[in-house]
Amino acid sequence: MTERNELAVRLGRAAALSLLAGTVGGAVVLAGQAIAARSREYAQPELGLALRATVGRADAPPLRLVLLGDSSALGVGVERFEETIGGQLAQLLAEAPAGRRVHLSSVGVSGSRSTDLATQVARALLGERPDVAVILIGANDATGLARPADAAAYLGSAVRRLREAHVEVVVGTCPDLGAVRAVASPLRQVLGWAGRRVARAQTTAVLDAGGSVVDLGTETGPVFRADAGTLCHDGFHPSADGYRVWAHALLPAVEAAAAVAYRHHH
């Protein structure tokens, strides 16, 4: 199933849930919005984007960074590697005072949910072990109305497996889905509510498993709500500006994780 169709089905389910939440009149509005949201053209993964790259001075201390998760871990919505979240994060780490030579890779798959992380963790641990893993997941769990506790349990076990392999882990929790412009109100509010529930459950599970958490919804949601330019043409995936906002939000936690990994190896 393509991500677009998958998203369509999920938005339909979200509308169905809203039937329970509102009146029949409200439900008709929501169903109409879900149909409109389904028929939009959503951004597709740019297969030409390098999923492996090295950024930074040749003499800087190396940092192996791997991204796991959904379309955001790939940078769906932008066309150049430098604009993806991985590209921007690697650049920020290379330019930081404790500049690093970042060996970046991504095992993210567009449309992924937390249940898909087990496969991604196995791929991330093939070959040379990463120092730091950044996981961006939750939006598809929320739009698919997965039970937050179930989604969080899969995420927690992925974090635990990475930690057991001595990889530092930073998780960017479900972003503010109330900021998406592909969907109108009140369906947008329903998605926002679902996203917050997932993010809360994720936070507890990740901390219990020994990972670090960056609450993308709280930290960056207001920016996404205020500035339409943070989303790409489909009104759903971030633009280069949106990924930059996320990269800056993740940076302190990733720098801290990189410092811990460096101490352990030296």
Query: Catalytic residue positions?
Result: 71, 234, 237
Query: In what order do the strands lie in the sheet containing 132-136?
Result: 52-55, 101-106, 62-69, 132-136, 168-172, 212-214
DSSP state string for 49-84: S-SEEEES-TTSPEEEEEEEESHHHHTTT-SSGGGS
Among 174, 120, 159, CA closest to 257: 159
Would you give the DSSP letter of residue 229?
Answer: G
Kindly state the tokens that stand for 97: 């005072």
The residues pairing with 184 across neighbouring beta strands, listed in sequence order, are none
